[in-house]
Amino acid sequence: YLLCRGPKYTPHQARQLTYILESLQNQYSDSVLCRGPHHPCYRIEPDLVHLMKTSRDPAELLWGWTEWRRLVGPPALQLYPTLISIQNQGARNNGYKDIGECWKEELETPHLEST
């Protein structure tokens, strides 16, 4: 039963969805944060993750968080409306109201808002 449920994408929607998800992953994994000429540059994984786990310097943590958001956030924000639109289309293709309804069914929590 569950294999037949969930969103159902057309081939075109599946290609679009794959492209967007790969783009988001690449933005995250390929981003490099640089502080300046006398500081190391950080790839998000593993460098920035390590910095955020181990540093106790508030200024350094603020820099890491702010730069990560500045570098990754705006490009991702451009893709998210299209991502959600495609996911909602896929959900409607299989009789759901939207992708949220699919997720609730998957989690077996139809009344998630009141939980």
Amino acid in position 110: P
The pTM (predicted TM-score) of the whole model is 0.79
Residues 82, 9, 15: CA angle, nearest 5 degrees? 60
Domain boundaries, the chain: 25-98
The Cα–Cα gap between 106 and 47 comes to: 34
The residue among 69, 80, 99 whose CA lies nearest residue 6 is 99
pLDDT average per 10 residues of sequence, the chain (115 residues): 80 98 94 91 94 96 95 95 98 96 85 71
